[in-house]
Amino acid sequence: MTHSRDSVVCVSVDDSDPRDPMAKCDRCGKQGTIARATRRAEPRVTLRFCGDCWPVAWSELRKRQDEEFRRWELSEDDSPQPPGWATSSRSWHDVIEFLGLIKQAEGSAKASGHFAKVAAEISATAHEMSGPMPSEVETFLKRWSTPSIG
Protein backbone atom coordinates (compact mmCIF):
# COMPACT_ATOMS: atom_id res chain seq x y z
CA MET A 1 0.00 0.00 0.00
CA THR A 2 1.49 3.35 -1.01
CA HIS A 3 0.32 6.66 0.32
CA SER A 4 1.29 10.06 -1.05
CA ARG A 5 1.87 12.12 2.10
CA ASP A 6 5.33 12.17 3.59
CA SER A 7 5.27 9.72 6.44
CA VAL A 8 7.28 7.22 8.37
CA VAL A 9 5.87 3.76 8.82
CA CYS A 10 7.21 1.48 11.52
CA VAL A 11 6.35 -2.16 11.19
CA SER A 12 6.91 -4.52 14.04
CA VAL A 13 6.87 -8.18 13.21
CA ASP A 14 5.14 -10.61 15.52
CA ASP A 15 6.45 -14.06 14.69
CA SER A 16 4.39 -15.73 17.39
CA ASP A 17 1.96 -18.40 16.32
CA PRO A 18 -1.41 -16.89 15.39
CA ARG A 19 -3.11 -20.20 16.12
CA ASP A 20 -4.90 -20.36 19.44
CA PRO A 21 -7.00 -23.45 20.17
CA MET A 22 -8.59 -21.73 23.19
CA ALA A 23 -9.47 -18.36 21.60
CA LYS A 24 -12.89 -17.66 20.15
CA CYS A 25 -13.31 -16.25 16.66
CA ASP A 26 -14.23 -12.57 16.87
CA ARG A 27 -16.53 -13.00 13.87
CA CYS A 28 -18.52 -16.18 14.56
CA GLY A 29 -17.57 -17.16 18.12
CA LYS A 30 -16.22 -20.62 17.21
CA GLN A 31 -13.41 -21.81 19.48
CA GLY A 32 -10.01 -22.28 17.85
CA THR A 33 -8.41 -19.60 15.69
CA ILE A 34 -5.79 -19.60 12.94
CA ALA A 35 -5.40 -15.85 12.29
CA ARG A 36 -4.75 -12.69 14.22
CA ALA A 37 -5.13 -9.03 13.21
CA THR A 38 -3.69 -6.33 15.45
CA ARG A 39 -4.50 -2.65 15.02
CA ARG A 40 -1.28 -0.63 15.32
CA ALA A 41 -2.71 1.98 17.67
CA GLU A 42 -2.95 2.64 21.36
CA PRO A 43 -4.76 0.95 22.90
CA ARG A 44 -3.93 -2.09 20.79
CA VAL A 45 -6.85 -4.03 19.41
CA THR A 46 -6.27 -7.70 18.60
CA LEU A 47 -8.87 -9.75 16.79
CA ARG A 48 -8.71 -13.51 16.19
CA PHE A 49 -10.43 -15.49 13.48
CA CYS A 50 -11.17 -19.12 12.64
CA GLY A 51 -10.24 -20.56 9.26
CA ASP A 52 -13.75 -20.17 7.87
CA CYS A 53 -14.02 -16.48 8.78
CA TRP A 54 -10.46 -15.30 8.06
CA PRO A 55 -10.66 -14.65 4.28
CA VAL A 56 -13.77 -12.45 4.59
CA ALA A 57 -12.56 -10.78 7.80
CA TRP A 58 -9.19 -9.89 6.21
CA SER A 59 -10.92 -8.51 3.13
CA GLU A 60 -13.17 -6.34 5.31
CA LEU A 61 -10.23 -5.08 7.42
CA ARG A 62 -8.27 -4.22 4.28
CA LYS A 63 -11.24 -2.31 2.80
CA ARG A 64 -11.70 -0.42 6.08
CA GLN A 65 -8.00 0.46 6.19
CA ASP A 66 -7.97 1.57 2.55
CA GLU A 67 -10.97 3.83 3.17
CA GLU A 68 -9.33 5.36 6.26
CA PHE A 69 -6.17 6.09 4.26
CA ARG A 70 -8.20 7.51 1.36
CA ARG A 71 -10.03 9.91 3.71
CA TRP A 72 -6.73 10.83 5.38
CA GLU A 73 -5.05 11.60 2.04
CA LEU A 74 -7.97 13.82 1.02
CA SER A 75 -8.09 15.69 4.32
CA GLU A 76 -6.74 19.22 4.50
CA ASP A 77 -5.55 19.02 8.11
CA ASP A 78 -2.25 17.72 9.49
CA SER A 79 -3.78 14.74 11.23
CA PRO A 80 -1.47 11.75 11.73
CA GLN A 81 -1.65 8.83 9.37
CA PRO A 82 -4.30 6.36 10.51
CA PRO A 83 -2.99 3.19 12.13
CA GLY A 84 -2.90 0.07 10.01
CA TRP A 85 -3.37 -3.59 10.79
CA ALA A 86 -0.65 -6.17 11.30
CA THR A 87 -1.84 -9.66 10.45
CA SER A 88 -0.58 -13.19 10.84
CA SER A 89 -2.27 -16.42 9.87
CA ARG A 90 -1.81 -20.07 9.14
CA SER A 91 -4.32 -19.88 6.31
CA TRP A 92 -3.63 -21.24 2.85
CA HIS A 93 -5.82 -18.36 1.61
CA ASP A 94 -2.98 -15.94 2.41
CA VAL A 95 -0.40 -18.12 0.64
CA ILE A 96 -2.55 -18.27 -2.50
CA GLU A 97 -3.04 -14.50 -2.38
CA PHE A 98 0.73 -13.98 -2.03
CA LEU A 99 1.49 -16.35 -4.90
CA GLY A 100 -0.93 -14.35 -7.05
CA LEU A 101 0.98 -11.17 -6.27
CA ILE A 102 4.42 -12.57 -7.06
CA LYS A 103 3.21 -14.30 -10.21
CA GLN A 104 3.50 -10.92 -11.95
CA ALA A 105 7.30 -11.29 -11.75
CA GLU A 106 7.32 -14.79 -13.22
CA GLY A 107 9.01 -13.77 -16.50
CA SER A 108 11.85 -11.97 -14.73
CA ALA A 109 15.33 -13.50 -14.75
CA LYS A 110 15.55 -12.92 -10.98
CA ALA A 111 12.26 -14.69 -10.37
CA SER A 112 13.50 -18.28 -10.49
CA GLY A 113 15.92 -17.83 -7.59
CA HIS A 114 13.36 -15.87 -5.62
CA PHE A 115 10.57 -18.36 -6.38
CA ALA A 116 12.79 -21.25 -5.31
CA LYS A 117 13.33 -19.53 -1.94
CA VAL A 118 9.58 -18.92 -1.58
CA ALA A 119 8.89 -22.57 -2.44
CA ALA A 120 11.42 -23.71 0.17
CA GLU A 121 9.81 -21.50 2.82
CA ILE A 122 6.32 -22.73 1.99
CA SER A 123 7.51 -26.34 2.12
CA ALA A 124 9.22 -25.77 5.46
CA THR A 125 6.12 -24.26 7.07
CA ALA A 126 3.39 -26.34 5.38
CA HIS A 127 2.96 -28.48 8.52
CA GLU A 128 1.91 -25.34 10.46
CA MET A 129 -0.88 -24.43 8.05
CA SER A 130 -4.57 -25.00 8.63
CA GLY A 131 -6.03 -27.72 6.45
CA PRO A 132 -4.78 -29.54 3.37
CA MET A 133 -2.50 -27.83 0.88
CA PRO A 134 -4.49 -26.39 -2.05
CA SER A 135 -3.67 -27.56 -5.57
CA GLU A 136 -2.45 -24.07 -6.59
CA VAL A 137 0.22 -24.23 -3.90
CA GLU A 138 1.18 -27.81 -4.83
CA THR A 139 1.58 -26.72 -8.45
CA PHE A 140 3.82 -23.82 -7.42
CA LEU A 141 5.97 -26.11 -5.26
CA LYS A 142 6.34 -28.70 -8.02
CA ARG A 143 7.46 -26.01 -10.45
CA TRP A 144 9.84 -24.06 -8.23
CA SER A 145 11.19 -26.44 -5.59
CA THR A 146 14.79 -27.40 -6.05
CA PRO A 147 15.60 -31.06 -5.64
CA SER A 148 17.42 -31.86 -2.43
CA ILE A 149 20.82 -33.42 -2.74
CA GLY A 150 21.42 -36.05 -0.19
Confidence of residue 9 (pLDDT cuts 50, 70, 90): very low
Is residue 7, in this structure, part of any structural domain at all? Answer: no
Q: Are residues 78 and 98 in the same domain?
A: no
Closest CA to 49 of 12, 102, 9, 85: 85
User: pTM above 0.85?
Assistant: no
- Contacts with 122 (C-beta within 8 Å, 6 or more apart), sequence order: 95, 137, 140, 141
Of the residues 47, 68, 89, which one is the last residue of a structural domain? Answer: 89
Q: How many separate domains does the chain show?
A: 2
Mean pLDDT in residue range 43-54: 94
Of the residues 89, 113, 139, which one is the last residue of a structural domain? Answer: 89
Domain that holds residue 99: 91-150
**pLDDT value at position 148?**
64
Q: Are residues 80 and 122 in the same domain?
A: no
**pLDDT value at position 58?**
95
